[in-house]
């Protein structure tokens, strides 16, 4: 029989009542008064033409500030959500917070002083954090080494495996669609073309292959030329492509990068000059190709002539990975969150071009920024258009940095390293924001959600973790894989996350 507690004493009752009363009138305690608010653009650090406003404290919630800023910028009919960072702090104001409770009450600022709020535009859509495993699909006979979603939508995903095949999956039903056989070695790199119709794959057998993504049939024969395994692939941006002649760049351990005509099946030219394993290649949206290598340098090439433009040096050891601020736009070209595909070729081109320009324009000019991760435990941020000197050097990791990625809106950098941490940096000046600690093994990869509000990371500790980038806290912990997770991709429309690893199962996660 359960023990019955005695009824609460008079004192206990009084205390309860006190607490309840205090909790009740928390909402009404915003006093009269006002604060002066100055809005500063986070990307440029300047106020521009915006006036310093006096805002009543009782009205100064994040929602109202957002409306106010949109009014000031004459965007009232087409509002953009903003995120406000008080005085350059790392953590932004929450959506339901207000200035009084977040800043004035804890004593961070006094009500008389001027509050500087850095604003950063956010995506107009919102991606929900993935929280459950929608499907765990067996099929591959060996470790899964590369995964990529189609840029069109999240229903198709391609995965490359150690069993020498590529598989295309239907993520709506969790079933295999095609098995692409042809490689004679492990498939190390998989890449969808920006329009989503072609897939390129590169393998340990030194061969690049081109596939039709809808039928799963090879296009042309194997592209031979490399003398060592392929490390990464990068498609020519859609707005630069000659219609019907898309090109793809492949980097290899043999120190060269080859530019292939994907349809014609011929090598256009080879970029030789690196003295070691080329670890990563990225085709920029301004007609430049960026490569990183084990010879400690990053080289910038002209995509039209194949000549070397710059050599960026500064790293003290291998350069493991590089990321462009426009990566996600170039990957998705004319596919955006509205999911409307322009009907004609010209409109597609125009849309891809305008999306690229919108993503890369800072202060009226097109700036493509570059971040590199290195074996010397540091990262560098470059603006290769203007200077061969780095903008900043980001230190803090205690072991080799494996991968770096830009958020789709180009404001945040995420780096993952063998020291079990993911670190978040400001992409404008390289300022350290957060260290995301929860993984207990080396973190292999990270992937941003399309709205830049969330980040997924996969690790040797067999888990995938989803992080909230506003607070730098863990949002979801997704165990499920039975062995280390090598590959991870968040679909460009934000619906699903695909992952694969040494347990030979592709897992699809969704909210």
Partner 1 sequence: MPQNEYIERWQKQHGKRFDYEERKRKRLAREGHKASENAQNLRGLRAKMYAEKRRKEKIQMKKQIRAHEERNVKSSEPAEPSSTPLPQYLLDRSSETNAKALSSAIKQKRNEKAARFSVPIPKVKGISEEEMFSVIKTGKKTHKKSWKRMITKPTFVGPGFTRRPVKYERFIRPMGLRYKKANVTHPGLNVTVQLPIISVKKNPSNPMYTQLGVLSRGTIIEVNVSELGLVTAGNKVVWGKYAQITNNPENDGCLNAVLLV
354-361 — which CB contacts under 8 Å span 24+ positions? 355/329, 356/237, 356/239, 356/285, 356/326, 356/329, 356/330, 359/325, 359/326, 359/328, 359/329, 359/408, 359/409, 359/410, 360/285, 360/286, 360/325, 360/326, 360/329, 360/410
By CB under 8 A, name the one of 39, 119, 204, 211 that touches partner 1: 204
By CB under 8 A, name the one of 39, 169, 186, 425 that touches partner 1: 186
Q: For residue 296, how far is the Cα from the chain centroid?
A: 24
Helix (H, G, I), strand (E, B) or coil at 167: strand
Based on the shown chain and the rule CB under 8 A, indicate whether residue 298 belongs to the binding site for partner 1: no
Binding residues for partner 1 restricted to 315-354, rule: CB under 8 A: 320-321
Q: Strands 114-121 and 34-41: what pairing?
A: parallel
By CB under 8 A, name the one of 167, 253, 274, 288 that touches partner 1: 253
Total site size for partner 1, rule CB under 8 A: 26
Phi, psi of 83 (to 5 degrees): -120, 135
Based on the shown chain and the rule CB under 8 A, indicate whether residue 444 belongs to the binding site for partner 1: yes
Based on the shown chain and the rule CB under 8 A, indicate whether residue 162 belongs to the binding site for partner 1: yes
Based on the shown chain and the rule CB under 8 A, indicate whether residue 457 belongs to the binding site for partner 1: no
Stretch that binds partner 1, among 21-29, 51-59, 91-99, 143-151 (CB under 8 A): 143-151
Based on the shown chain and the rule CB under 8 A, indicate whether residue 282 belongs to the binding site for partner 1: no
By CB under 8 A, name the one of 229, 260, 356, 448 that touches partner 1: 229
By CB under 8 A, name the one of 57, 135, 168, 189 that touches partner 1: 189
| Locus of tokens 């500790």 | 461
Q: Are 469 and 475 in contact (CB under 8 A)?
A: no
Smallest distance from partner 1 to CB 202, Å: 9
Residues linked to residue 162 through DSSP beta bridges, in sequence order: none
Based on the shown chain and the rule CB under 8 A, indicate whether residue 188 belongs to the binding site for partner 1: yes
Smallest distance from partner 1 to CB 502, Å: 7
Stretch that binds partner 1, among 66-74, 181-189, 259-267, 333-341 (CB under 8 A): 181-189
Stretch that binds partner 1, among 129-137, 185-193, 351-359, 466-474 (CB under 8 A): 185-193
Based on the shown chain and the rule CB under 8 A, indicate whether residue 139 belongs to the binding site for partner 1: no
Question: What number of other Cβ atoms are within 10 A of residue 11's Cβ?
Answer: 8
Smallest distance from partner 1 to CB 142, Å: 5
Nearer to partner 1, 163 or 409 (CB): 163
Binding residues for partner 1 restricted to 361-390, rule: CB under 8 A: none
Residues linked to residue 311 through DSSP beta bridges, in sequence order: 299
Beta strands in 273-364 (DSSP E): 278-283, 288-293, 297-302, 308-313, 319-324, 361-362
Residues linked to residue 178 through DSSP beta bridges, in sequence order: 168
Contacts of 96 (CB under 8 A, 6+ apart): 61, 62
Q: For residue 429, how far is the Cα from the chain centroid?
A: 18
From residue 244, how far is each of 196, 241, 338, 429 by CA, in Å? Answer: 13, 8, 25, 39
Stretch that binds partner 1, among 26-34, 114-122, 137-145, 216-224 (CB under 8 A): 137-145
Nearer to partner 1, 84 or 186 (CB): 186
Contact residues: partner 1, CB under 8 A: 142-143, 145-146, 161-163, 186, 188-189, 204, 229, 231-232, 253, 277, 279, 294, 320-321, 402-403, 444, 486-487, 502
């Amino acid at each position: 029989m359960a023990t019955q507690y005695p009824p609460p004493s008079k004192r206990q009752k009084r205390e309860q009542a006190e607490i309840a009363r205090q909790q009740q009138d928390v909402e009404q305690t915003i006093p009269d008064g006002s604060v002066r608010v100055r809005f500063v653009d986070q990307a440029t650090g300047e106020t521009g033409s915006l006036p310093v406003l006096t805002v009543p404290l009782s009205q100064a919630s994040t929602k109202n500030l957002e409306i106010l800023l949109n009014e000031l910028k004459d965007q009232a009919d087409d509002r953009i959500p903003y995120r406000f960072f008080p005085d350059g702090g790392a953590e932004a104001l929450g959506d339901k917070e207000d200035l009084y409770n977040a800043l004035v009450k804890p004593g961070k600022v006094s009500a008389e002083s001027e509050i500087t709020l850095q604003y950063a535009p956010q995506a107009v859509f919102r991606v929900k954090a993935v929280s459950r495993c929608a499907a765990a699909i067996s099929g591959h006979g060996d470790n899964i080494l590369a995964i990529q979603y189609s840029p069109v939508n999240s229903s198709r995903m391609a995965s490359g495996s150690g069993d020498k095949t590529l598989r295309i999956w239907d993520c709506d039903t969790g079933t295999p669609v095609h098995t692409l056989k042809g490689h004679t070695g492990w498939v190390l790199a998989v890449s969808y073309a920006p329009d989503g119709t072609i897939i390129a794959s590169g393998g340990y057998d030194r061969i690049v292959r081109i596939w039709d993504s809808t039928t799963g049939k090879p296009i042309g024969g194997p592209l031979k030329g490399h003398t060592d395994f392929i490390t990464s692939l990068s498609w020519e941006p859609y707005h630069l492509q000659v219609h019907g002649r898309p090109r793809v760049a492949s980097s290899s351990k043999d120190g060269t990068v080859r530019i292939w005509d994907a349809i014609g099946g011929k090598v256009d030219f080879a970029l030789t000059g690196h003295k070691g394993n080329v670890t990563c290649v990225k085709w920029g949206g301004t007609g430049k190709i960026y490569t990183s290598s084990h010879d400690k340098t990053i080289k910038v090439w002209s995509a039209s002539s194949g000549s070397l433009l710059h050599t960026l040096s500064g790293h003290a050891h291998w350069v493991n990975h590089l990321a462009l601020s426009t990566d996600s736009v170039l990957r998705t070209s004319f596919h955006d969150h509205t999911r409307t595909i322009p009907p004609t070729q010209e409109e597609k081109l125009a849309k891809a071009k305008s999306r690229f320009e919108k993503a890369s324009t800072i202060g009226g000019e097109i700036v493509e920024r570059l971040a590199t991760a290195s074996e010397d435990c540091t990262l560098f941020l470059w603006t290769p258009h203007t200077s061969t000197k780095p903008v900043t050097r980001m230190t803090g990791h205690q072991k080799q940095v494996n991968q770096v990625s830009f958020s789709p809106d180009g404001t945040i950098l995420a780096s993952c390293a063998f020291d079990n941490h993911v670190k978040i940096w400001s992409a404008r000046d390289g300022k350290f924001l957060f260290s995301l600690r929860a993984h207990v093994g080396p973190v292999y990869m990270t992937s941003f959600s399309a709205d830049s509000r969330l980040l997924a990371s996969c690790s040797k500790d067999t888990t995938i973790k989803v992080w909230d980038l506003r607070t730098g806290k863990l949002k979801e912990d997704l165990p499920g894989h039975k062995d280390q997770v090598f590959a991870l991709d968040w679909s460009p429309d934000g619906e699903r996350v695909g992952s694969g690893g040494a347990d030979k199962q592709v897992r699809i996660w969704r909210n």
